[in-house]
């Protein structure tokens, strides 16, 4: 997930355009900005790249999730279904709009298990958020079909999968909307930043207004101060320098993905040395953005033993079973209901009534998969020396029993 690896002169040139006008803001300053609208242009180009009609830039991928949920009308009393293997941001946003997150199992795709989704839907389910984890598609066609049958909108958390496709179509374009993140570890970066794409103009308009204190952005003699509003909003505005960086990074996205594919193939060949290894199910391998290489070993014990050898030889893999930011039972603040509010919200109601309790052992299928899973991040730039080191470490680990 490495947009930062390719940061260079192209980004500096785009930033320089902004520094020269001194207009750091996306709205207003008509004369001073000399026709330069970096955030707006980034939105247009990002939408076109993905094959979506509209895009709304915001300050982060987490803000993107929240703004999208708000535009869906999700709030207190509602449930939103997502998966138990995701970054904490996905469910933070659900809580932040007042709704309650419900977690599904993941299957060997490491994404939402459609069969478990079906079981978790209730009369209160107001949105479904499949997450395209680790750069590759969820079973989005099956998930969409289940959601459509019940008339529940799908929000695709595409934070980790910019540039990835399913059946030739960009991820984020299957549901009502798709959200993206451009933070430090993502496939393209703007430092901090996020985007929502959608084909629904009215939905986009609501997001555009919400992220700017409700401003309706209708031209009027009073300028920005004379703009009207039809509901309360908040401020999640992206700034021009982020838009500028985004334009340069977007122009590199296809090259980033192409390099990752090449490097992933080389790393996969090395991993194949491990006895009993199997790979994550990819529902559309050509559409994989190849930001990660995920593989399973036959059991938990062997997985730990293999990774110990890999670590000792300078090529340790990520073990998500131990990772406290991406995996349900490791979210101790969720399990214990830790919050700064006096009332205990969002775990308790204002009157002290318990709203929801999370137990660590309710996703056994995911636990089984996670205990056998190791993951390598695939760099854009993989030197021969580093590949040789990884290959040698894997050869040693292949002798572990």
Ligand X SMILES: *Cc1c(COP(=O)(O)O)cnc(C)c1O
Catalytic residue among 186, 252, 262, 330, which? 186
- Residues near 376 by beta carbon (within 8 Å), at least 6 away in sequence: 267, 271, 292, 293, 317, 318, 390
**Least gap, CB of 309 to ligand X (angstroms):** 29
DSSP string over 61-111: HHHHHHHHHHHTT--TT-EEEEESBS-THHHHHHHHTT-EEEEE-B-TTSS
If the CB atoms of residues 204 and 292 are measured against ligand X, the closer one turns out to be 292
Tokens found for residue 197: 């794409």
We find the least distance from the C-beta atom of residue 62 to ligand X, in angstroms, to be: 3
Binding mask 49-78 for ligand X (x = CB under 6 A): -----------xxx----------------
3-state class (DSSP) for residue 54: strand
Task: Return the range that interacts with ligand X (CB under 6 A); candidates 18-26, 84-92, 202-210, 381-389.
Answer: 84-92
13 in catalytic set? no
Number of Cβ atoms within 10 Å of the Cβ of 391: 16
Residue among 43, 107, 116, 157 that touches ligand X (CB under 6 A)? 157
Q: Of the ranges 152-160, 219-227, 257-265, 356-364, which one interacts with ligand X (CB under 6 A)?
A: 152-160
Assess 87 for contact with ligand X (CB under 6 A): yes
Compute the C-alpha angle 12/238/187, nearest 5°: 60
Q: How far is the CB of 66 from ligand X (least distance, A)?
A: 10
Q: Are 170 and 254 in contact (CB under 8 A)?
A: no
Residue 187 in the binding site for ligand X (CB under 6 A): no
Residue closest to ligand X when measured from CB atoms: 61
Quote the least distance from Cβ 192 to ligand X, whole Å: 6
Binding to ligand X by CB under 6 A, coded x per residue (else -) over 110-149, reads ---------------------x------------------
Query: Sheet holding 292-296: strands in order across?
Result: 278-279, 292-296, 373-377
372 CB contacts (<8 Å, ≥6 apart)? 296, 297, 298, 299, 300, 303
Residue 160 in the binding site for ligand X (CB under 6 A) = yes
Footprint of ligand X on this chain (CB under 6 A)? 60-62, 86-87, 89-90, 131, 157, 159-160, 181, 183, 194
Q: What are the residue numbers of the active site?
A: 186
């Amino acid at each position: 997930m490495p947009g930062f690896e390719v940061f260079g002169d192209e980004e500096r040139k785009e930033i320089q355009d902004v520094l020269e006008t001194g207009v750091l803001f996306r709205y207003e300053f008509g004369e001073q900005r000399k026709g330069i609208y970096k955030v707006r242009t980034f939105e247009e180009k990002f939408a076109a790249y993905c094959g979506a009609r509209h895009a709304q830039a915001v300050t982060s991928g987490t803000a993107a999730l929240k703004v999208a949920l708000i535009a869906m009308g999700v709030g207190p009393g509602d449930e939103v279904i997502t998966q138990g293997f995701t970054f904490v941001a996905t469910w933070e946003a659900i809580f932040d709009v007042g709704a309650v997150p419900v977690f599904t199992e993941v299957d060997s795709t490491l994404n939402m298990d459609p069969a478990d989704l079906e079981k978790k839907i209730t009369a209160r389910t107001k949105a479904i958020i499949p997450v395209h984890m680790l750069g590759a598609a969820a079973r989005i066609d099956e998930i969409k079909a289940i959601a459509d049958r019940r008339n529940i909108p799908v929000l695709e958390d595409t934070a980790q999968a910019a540039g990835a496709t399913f059946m030739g179509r960009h991820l984020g374009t299957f549901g009502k909307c798709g959200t993206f993140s451009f933070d430090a570890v993502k496939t393209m970066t703007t430092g901090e930043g996020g985007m929502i794409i959608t084909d629904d103009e009215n939905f986009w308009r609501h997001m555009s207004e919400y992220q700017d204190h409700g401003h309706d952005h209708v031209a009027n003699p009073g300028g920005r101060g004379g703009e009207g509003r039809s509901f309360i909003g908040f401020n999640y505005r992206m700034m021009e320098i982020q838009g500028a960086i985004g334009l340069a990074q977007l122009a590199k996205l296809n090259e980033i993905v192409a390099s990752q594919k090449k490097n992933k193939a080389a790393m996969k060949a090395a991993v194949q040395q491990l006895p009993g290894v199997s790979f994550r199910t990819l529902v559309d391998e050509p559409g994989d953005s190849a930001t990660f290489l995920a593989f399973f070993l036959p059991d938990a014990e062997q997985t730990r033993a293999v990774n110990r050898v890999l670590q000792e030889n300078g090529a340790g893999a990520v073990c998500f079973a131990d990772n406290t930011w991406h995996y349900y039972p490791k979210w101790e603040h969720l399990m214990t209901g830790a919050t700064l509010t006096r009332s205990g919200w969002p775990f308790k109601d204002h009157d002290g009534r318990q709203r929801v309790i999370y137990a660590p052992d309710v996703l056994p299928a995911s636990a089984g998969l996670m205990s056998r899973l190791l993951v390598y991040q695939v760099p854009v730039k993989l030197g021969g020396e580093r590949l040789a080191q990884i290959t040698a470490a894997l050869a040693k680990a292949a002798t572990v029993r």
